[in-house]
């Protein structure tokens, strides 16, 4: 792979995936908390909307993003006129598409981690004088860290492999929105590009395996830390 491929494709893919993953973290924790701990009208609808990207074709998700955040979309026009922000057909738009597609995976992982927390420990912290926020930070959050870690890895990997929503909302612009999967698609559509596509696939496979190994190692260290004697 040439230096141009590394800088423009791999570098852009990692940046887009990192931005999408970090931007999704706090909303995912809040959403997981609402779905796991709260009962309110519309909870089932919220759950369905959060997980809709998992069952919808990614192109449909990209189409909805165009309707909302495109140059003539409701939110897109307002963002451009008020703040000069343009999302469609930009790297930021690629990050938004990846975040939307990976968000259900992060919410699901964090929710499972939260539901595994013994609520008796939270009650004990409250009886010892801890407020709701203190109990969450000192008791609940550390115990749900494995779920958060799993959600981060899954979302990052999903963003690296996202294709349909990205190409629909952000297009396939060299040096701007051409991520790893789009570069593979472009290479396969180019005469004699099979060798370049194979190299890109190898890089993609290597990144996926590295992410999974790092997640497994971090999860083991984290669980050992949580269960270590004080």
Listed by start position, the domains of the chain span 3-226
C-beta of residue 23 within 8 angstroms of C-beta of residue 95: yes
Q: Of the given ranges (138-142, 150-154, 218-222), which has the lowest mean pLDDT?
A: 218-222
Q: How far apart are CA 49 and CA 205, in angstroms?
A: 31
**Residue positions counted in the chain:** 230
Pick the more confident residue, 13 or 215: 13
The answer, yes or no, to whether residue 88 has pLDDT greater than 90, is yes
The answer, yes or no, to whether residue 212 has pLDDT greater than 50, is yes
Q: How far apart are CA 131 and CA 178, in angstroms?
A: 47
Q: Could you name the CATH architecture of 3-226?
A: Orthogonal Bundle (1.10)
* pLDDT bucket at 4, cuts 50 / 70 / 90: very low
Q: How far apart are CA 111 and CA 40, in angstroms?
A: 17
C-beta of residue 94 within 8 angstroms of C-beta of residue 177: yes
Contact residues for 145 (Cβ-Cβ < 8 A; gap 6+)? 113, 222, 226
Q: What does the angle CA 63 – CA 158 – CA 100 come to, to the nearest 5 degrees?
A: 40
Question: pLDDT by residue (tens digit) across 121-139?
Answer: 878 888 887 777 788 888 8
Q: How far apart are CA 186 and CA 90, in angstroms?
A: 18
Q: Directed axis angle between helix 91-115 and helix 11-37, to 10°? A: 40
C-beta of residue 111 within 8 angstroms of C-beta of residue 35: yes
- Report how far apart, in Å, the C-alpha atoms of 3 and of each of 7, 14, 114, 183, 198 are: 6, 15, 43, 14, 16
pLDDT of residue 3: 40
C-beta of residue 107 within 8 angstroms of C-beta of residue 115: no
The answer, yes or no, to whether residue 40 has pLDDT greater than 90, is no
Q: Six-digit token pair at 41?
A: 């009208």
Average pLDDT over residues 84-93: 93
C-beta of residue 74 within 8 angstroms of C-beta of residue 68: yes
Q: How far apart are CA 229 and CA 220, in angstroms?
A: 16
């Amino acid at each position: 792979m040439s230096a141009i491929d590394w800088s423009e494709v791999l570098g852009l893919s990692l940046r887009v995936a990192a931005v999408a993953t970090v931007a999704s973290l706090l909303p995912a924790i809040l959403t997981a908390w609402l779905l796991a701990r709260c009962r309110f009208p519309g909870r089932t609808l919220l759950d369905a909307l959060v997980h809709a990207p998992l069952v919808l074709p990614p192109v449909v998700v990209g189409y909805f993003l165009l309707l909302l955040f495109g140059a003539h979309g409701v939110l897109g026009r307002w963002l451009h006129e008020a703040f000069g922000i343009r999302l469609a057909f930009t790297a930021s738009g690629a990050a938004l598409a990846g975040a939307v597609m990976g968000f259900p995976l992060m919410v699901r992982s964090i929710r499972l981690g939260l539901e595994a927390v013994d609520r008796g420990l939270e009650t004990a912290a409250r009886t010892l004088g801890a407020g709701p926020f203190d109990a969450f930070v000192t008791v609940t959050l550390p115990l749900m860290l494995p779920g958060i870690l799993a959600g981060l890895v899954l979302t990052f990997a999903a963003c690296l492999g996202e294709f349909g929503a990205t190409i629909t909302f952000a297009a396939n612009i060299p040096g701007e929105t051409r991520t790893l999967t789009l570069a593979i698609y472009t290479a396969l559509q180019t005469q004699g590009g099979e060798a370049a596509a194979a190299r890109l696939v190898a890089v993609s496979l290597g990144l996926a395996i590295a992410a999974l190994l790092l997640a497994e190692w971090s999860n083991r260290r984290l669980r050992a830390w949580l269960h270590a004697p004080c």
